Amino acid sequence: MTAKIVVVGSFNADLVSYMERMPRPGETVHGERFATGAGGKGSNQAVAAARLGADVTFIGRVGNDVFAELAYEIWDAEGINRQFVKRDRDVATGVAPILVDSSGENMIVVVLGANLRLRQSDIDAARAVIAEADMLLIQREVNLDIVPYALGTAKELGVATILNPAPADGASRESIKLADFLTPNEIELQTLNGGEFADVDSAARSLLTRADQTAVVTLGAQGARIVTPAETQLIPTFAVDAVDTTGAGDTFNAALAVGLSEGMALPKAIRFANAAAALCVTKPGAADSAPRREDVDALYLGAK
């Protein structure tokens, strides 16, 4: 079956500098390479889901500049429905200066621009498509009023939701109550818990307010941990040589959405998502490094 996914979220033009090591505050270091690419957590998730075979609709905003063309180019190449993307004439498309070191680790600044112009009316316009979807996937790189509104709309329409609480801050908790699946990484889990936490399981469990909510905490090279009010389980990932971790979380979320929408049980959907994220980190770039379905299936099915 073809998964129908609606992604509400950001598009950013990623301005990526690759270097041996990150600069310290006040220090200048030499970069080895620079690249401009399609990014933004929302758009990366949409592209990754489309490459995994899903029928994807993206809801977002771009600005009045050449970076918007970068967005249209990749969405059209991947067959993503962009009928509900508006172009703001008086604001810039989101941009993200990114530093990537030789271990593949990254640091990102997002300047969200047009992403902050997303309105409730944009969600309302897509209501019929949301009603037909298997899953609505959303992050937090948009106007934050929209996050609970989009999650609430999906809930009202009986559509399952994944909230990727990235970037996280204290205000995320309102939206967290509405989501079916929460997918923080460890840093986001820490932020959502107001700082340090004793262990992943209790920190993730403290976010859950309903018996039917599930946290899937992404743990990088270790894999991902399922935390429900009743149980926990680590799903290990695949060992790969990381070149650039940018977009790995986005690919994970997209694959999780696709797997669950195709009817996979949660542990299986997470193994599928781990395989997709593992392949993503072996290539540079964000959306550009999202893997194709046949490659994910080869890694994931081959490992059984």
Q: Which residues are catalytic?
A: 250
Query: Out of 286, 290, 296, 299, which residue is the one contacting ligand RIB (CB under 6 A)?
Result: 286
Among the listed ranges 8-16, 21-29, 223-231, 232-240, the one in contact with ligand RIB (CB under 6 A) is: 8-16
The answer to whether the CB of 78 falls within 8 A of the CB of 32 is no
Letters for 259-278 (x = contact with ligand RIB by CB under 6 A, - = none) are: --------------------
Query: Out of 96, 182, 207, 270, which residue is the one contacting ligand RIB (CB under 6 A)?
Result: 96
Tokens, residue 164 = 């990727």
Alpha carbons 242 and 279: distance in angstroms, whole number: 9
| CA 174 from centroid of its chain's CA atoms | 19
Which residues pair with residue 216 across a beta bridge? 226
Nearest to 163 by CA among 139, 186, 187: 139
User: Which C-beta is closer to ligand RIB: that of 95 or that of 176?
Assistant: 95
Residues 6+ apart with CB under 8 A from 119: 143, 146
Question: Closest separation between CB of residue 36 and ligand RIB, Å?
Answer: 11
Residue that is written with structure tokens 């994910």 in the block: 296
Exposed / middle / buried, residue 143 (Cβ in 10 Å: 0-12, 13-18, 19+): middle
246: contact with ligand RIB by CB under 6 A = yes
Question: Closest separation between CB of residue 139 and ligand RIB, Å?
Answer: 8
Tokens, residue 271 = 């193994």
Question: Closest separation between CB of residue 212 and ligand RIB, Å?
Answer: 27
250: contact with ligand RIB by CB under 6 A = yes
| CA 72 from centroid of its chain's CA atoms | 19
Question: Closest separation between CB of residue 144 and ligand RIB, Å?
Answer: 15
Query: Out of 4, 6, 12, 63, which residue is the one contacting ligand RIB (CB under 6 A)?
Result: 12
Alpha carbons 118 and 91: distance in angstroms, whole number: 12
Segment 39 to 58, residues that bind ligand RIB, using CB under 6 A: 39-41, 44
Query: Out of 5, 7, 8, 14, which residue is the one contacting ligand RIB (CB under 6 A)?
Result: 14
Question: Closest separation between CB of residue 117 and ligand RIB, Å?
Answer: 16
Cα 127-152-49 angle, rounded to 5 deg:
65
* DSSP string for residues in 122-142: HHHHTHHHHHH-SEEEE-SSS
The answer to whether the CB of 225 falls within 8 A of the CB of 250 is no
User: Which C-beta is closer to ligand RIB: that of 54 or that of 74?
Assistant: 74
Letters for 187-216 (x = contact with ligand RIB by CB under 6 A, - = none) are: ------------------------------
User: Which C-beta is closer to ligand RIB: that of 150 or that of 159?
Assistant: 150
Interface with ligand RIB (CB under 6 A), residue total 16
Q: How many CB atoms lie within 10 A of CB 302?
A: 9
Q: Give the binding site for ligand RIB (CB under 6 A).
A: 10, 12, 14, 39-41, 44, 96, 108, 110, 141, 246-247, 249-250, 286
